[in-house]
Amino acid sequence: MEKQYCKVGTVTPMAANADAITVLEYQYQNFLDKASNIKYSNTQLGEFFELKAQKLKKALENLV
């Protein structure tokens, strides 16, 4: 039996271009929306989304 290589979980690095910035901005806004929608019903999940948004904001600041 031959070895098969699966691409599940592989990471493709983003280049520092306008497309990468657009994707990061979308993800940042998405996590902020999720955090605000779920903040009062599930505080741990809301904090998780806020932390993800903060990390994305730092990445955006480094790109710009």
Region 37-55 average pLDDT: 88
Q: pLDDT tens across 12-39, in order?
A: 666 656 678 888 899 999 999 998 888 7
pLDDT surpasses 80 at 49: yes
The structural domain count of the chain equals 1
Considering the domain boundaries, does residue 50 fall inside one?
yes
Q: Does 37 reside within a domain?
A: yes
Structural domain including 52 reads 18-63
The answer as to whether 30 is a domain residue is yes
Between 45 and 6, whose confidence is greater?
45
Inside any domain, residue 31:
yes
Cα separation of 19 and 27, whole Å? 12
Please report where in the chains the tokens 């998405």 appear, as a residue.
30
